[in-house]
Amino acid sequence: MPVTIKDVARAAGVSPATVSRTLATPELVHADTRRRVQQAVDALGYKPNRAARGLITGRTGNLGLIVPDLTNPFFPGVVKGVQTRARESDYAVFLADTDEDPSAEADVVRNLSKQVDGIILCSPRMSEEELRSLTGETPIVMLNRRVGRMPSVTVNSADGIRQAVAHLTALGHRRIAYVPGPKLSWSNRERVRALRQHTAAAGVELVEVGNVAPQFAGGVAAADQVLATGVTAVLGYNDLVALGMLSRFAARGVAVPERISVMGFDDIVLSEMVNPSLTTLAQPKEQTGRAGVDLLLQLLADPERAFSRRELESHLMVRNSTGPAPTP
């Protein structure tokens, strides 16, 4: 028996309409009435039922967030950013973790679409057509991926990679390896593209080893291959992969960074907790989440501007897995 608008109306001796106005457009109601209503609201602890409101206004005050795998340390930061920003604008957040299953993602979008004003979707692998078909269901903002004219938040990996390549060449490296993540991942493709471009420009040789799972185990598996190529520096698709290599190198007694320099992407918290700590390209995770919400709210306020993008910058976090170990 939660308290409804009628209860408040009765308590304040006004009509439900007046209560509604007091809450939505206080300036349209007489100060005295407003006060009485407000008192009743407080006394009864009335909170409007958002679902009921949404039914008529078409606005739910909710938004959806879909991520492929929350246990990948990259995502909690993004989720947190979304969450925080959403709460600032009084939005609640539906979260779905799809276990890296692109088909689940589409389902989730469809299931959620009626209950949210829009969805923030982090789906690096779903096919473009499917993605586009979802756009009809509800407004969608893509995270870390650009497809067609869909609104998106991405990071400028080209510039980050320029920084990384510059860093490594400055240290004297002339042959560097890249351990790619999932073939279909948009981020991975971007990174490969940028790496080819910037290594070529710098006159440095790029050795691409085989794709691995974007996880610690993937890095462990790739480490020996990397060593066999004889490079003096290696970039992993993400920090987990890089940490896996670090671990395997340690097990084999390969000195980092003396024998080989190691870099990752993301700057997940772990990267500074290991020893040697991992040099990495920091992605603005919470900011990405916040920007996603910003974009979505913008879109809702002004649906004309259906096409709008936000590109964030990443920056190099130099730690001691590259170059000479710092003297303490």
Binding partner of residue 33 among its own copies, DNA, none, CB under 5 to 8 Å per kind? Answer: DNA
Instruction: Give residues with Cβ within 8 angstroms of 7, minimum separation 6.
Output: 44, 46
Binding partner of residue 74 among DNA, its own copies, none, CB under 5 to 8 Å per kind? Answer: none
What order of strands is seen across the sheet that includes strand 175-179? 205-208, 175-179, 233-236, 261-266, 279-282, 315-317
Phi (first) and psi of residue 180, to 5 degrees: -80, 155
3-state SS, residue 243 = helix
Q: Residue 120 corresponds to which tokens in the numbers above?
A: 């923030």
Binding partner of residue 217 among DNA, its own copies, none, CB under 5 to 8 Å per kind? Answer: none
Q: Residue 164 corresponds to which tokens in the numbers above?
A: 């990384």
Measured CA to CA, the distance from residue 204 to residue 34 in angstroms comes to: 72
Q: Is residue 265 a contact partner of residue 243, using CB atoms and an 8 Å limit? A: no
- What's the min distance (Å) between Cβ of 60 and its own copies? 7
- 20-28, 63-71, 126-134, 150-158 -> range binding DNA (CB under 7 A): 20-28
- 52-60, 73-81, 189-197, 228-236 -> range binding DNA (CB under 7 A): 52-60
**CB closer to its own copies out of 199 and 321:** 321
Which positions lie near its own copies, rule CB under 8 A?
2, 47-52, 54-55, 60, 62, 65, 70-71, 73, 75-77, 79-80, 83-84, 87, 92-97, 99, 108, 110-115, 216, 243-244, 247, 250-251, 269-270, 273-275, 328
29 is a site residue for DNA (CB under 7 A): yes
Q: Is residue 176 a contact partner of residue 204, using CB atoms and an 8 Å limit? A: yes
Q: Residue 238 corresponds to which tokens in the numbers above?
A: 């993400």
Among 35, 39, 43, 52, binds DNA (CB under 7 A): 52
Residue ranges of the alpha helices (H) in the chain?
Answer: 5-12, 16-24, 31-44, 50-57, 74-88, 102-112, 128-135, 157-170, 186-202, 216-229, 239-252, 285-301
- Write the interaction track for DNA spanning residues 203-242; mark x where CB under 7 A is met and - where it is not: ----------------------------------------
Measured CA to CA, the distance from residue 214 to residue 221 in angstroms comes to: 11
Binding partner of residue 194 among its own copies, DNA, none, CB under 5 to 8 Å per kind? Answer: none
Binding partner of residue 39 among its own copies, DNA, none, CB under 5 to 8 Å per kind? Answer: none
- What's the min distance (Å) between Cβ of 114 and DNA? 7
Binding site for DNA (CB under 7 A): 2, 4-6, 13-21, 23-24, 28-30, 32-34, 46-49, 52-53, 55-57
